[in-house]
Amino acid sequence: MSIKNIILLPLTIGLITLFTGCEEKKVEQKVEVKKEIKKVDVNIHTLKKQPYEIWVDFSGKTEAYKNVDVTSRVSGELKEVYFKAGDIVKKGQLLFKIDDSQYKAVLEQKMASLQKDKASLNLAKSQVNRYKPLVQKGLAPREKLDELVANQRQLQAVVNADSATIKQSKLDVEYTNIKATIDGQIGKSFVDVGNLVSASSTSLAKIVDSKVLYVNFNPSAREVSLIKKYKSEENPRVKVRLENSEDRIELKGNIDFIDNTTNETTGTVSMRAKIDNKQNIIFPGTFVEIKLFITDKIPVLAVHPNNLGQNQIGSFVYVVNSENKIETRQVSIQYSNTDLAMIKDGLVEGDKLVVSNITKLRDGILVNAKEVENPIK
């Protein structure tokens, strides 16, 4: 071996060692890349058609079950007020007192006239009774008897008229005591003591019975048709909540009226619910949210609104396919509320819907799928 070859031998061995080491590192790097692929844990629910409680959302306004203006049947000066604003009053309870001196004076005058006319009537009866035997015996003319009988009848009519006017006068005296005509809560008095009250025209106060409330709302004619078609109760249940309120105030009742015509201007139909408000939690005239029960008898394919996403095309969900990979499905919604979204197109029974957080998912991600309960309660 020449001196040149002896010098080159270590260099050649070093290069071989260097290249061999590089190849080993590349292999190691490739192995490391394969180890970085991880599966994402997701919760899924396998879809199937089943009946759910379907509630439709509306908004409406409450109205008192009974709302009465307190008025007077007679005119006069207001003498007394027997309640405080906000009191709960009972039917027949005394509320106001009108000055009755004028009406009592009229009553006394009518009573005196009655006594006078009764005396005249008694005299006329006596005269008729005296003349009857005389006429029968031919000792007095019949014309005179007829005149006396006519006078008796005339006086009897006067007495009857007096009795009627006395009855009205007694009513006028009674009407000076103004009483509640319904049970309910009375507001403030609109008239102060000392003011003149006009009969049937001056509103003195307002009584509201709000232990039961009406809730008026106006669905479209199409919505009303669907309600009538699919409802499973004759008078569907409703839940009423205060509009835009975080407090969990909820009252229950039933639909008690659906109008028989459509408003030509708005295309809506008047509907009304009757709800229990025994604790007077909600006042008349309040805007409320209404949940109207339709049915729980019809099997449908539905997802929870929280499992829906939105993109430029529309609504979508994530499903796990047969390769355990995430797949995007565009869906068409038939109806939705805060509890469920009924699927019209895009999903079928047996699809494995992702029901956990979908914000970081995308197509093709390999996942570990765990079956959980249906998120729609």
pLDDT at 162 over 90: no
Q: Of the spans 32-46, 145-159, 296-310, which averages the highest pLDDT?
A: 296-310
> What pTM was computed for the model?
0.66
* Distance separating alpha carbons of residues 15 and 7, to the nearest angstrom: 14
**Would you state the pLDDT for residue 20?**
53
Q: What is the pLDDT of residues 213-248, one digit of tens each?
A: 999 999 999 999 989 998 999 999 999 998 777 777
Q: Residue 49 has which token pair?
A: 């058609």
**Would you state the pLDDT for residue 135?**
75
* Distance separating alpha carbons of residues 308 and 318, to the nearest angstrom: 8
How confident is residue 202, by pLDDT bands cut at 50, 70 and 90? confident
The CA distances from residue 85 to 95, 101, 189, 290, 353, in Å, are 11, 28, 7, 31, 59
pLDDT average, residue stretch 69-89: 94
- CA nearest to 180, candidates 315, 262, 81: 81
Contact 228, 89 (CB under 8 A): no
**Would you state the pLDDT for residue 196?**
92
pLDDT at 3 over 50: no
pLDDT at 1 over 70: no
Percent of the chain at pLDDT exceeding 70: 90
Contact 306, 354 (CB under 8 A): no
Residue 272 has a CB neighbour count (10 Å cut-off) of 16
| Topology (CATH level 3) of domain 41-52+300-371 | 2.40.420
Question: 341-345 and 332-336 as β-strands: parallel, antiparallel, unpaired?
Answer: antiparallel
pLDDT at 160 over 70: yes
Q: What is the pLDDT of residues 325-347, one digit of tens each?
A: 999 999 999 888 888 999 999 99
Q: What is the overall mean pLDDT for the chain?
A: 87
| Topology (CATH level 3) of domain 56-64+207-297 | Elongation Factor Tu (Ef-tu); domain 3 (2.40.30)
> Where along the chain do its domains lie?
1-35, 41-52+300-371, 56-64+207-297, 68-197
Q: Residue 198 has which token pair?
A: 């006009």
pLDDT average, residue stretch 61-86: 93
**Would you state the pLDDT for residue 377?**
80
pLDDT at 21 over 60: no
**Would you state the pLDDT for residue 6?**
45
Higher pLDDT, 204 or 134: 204
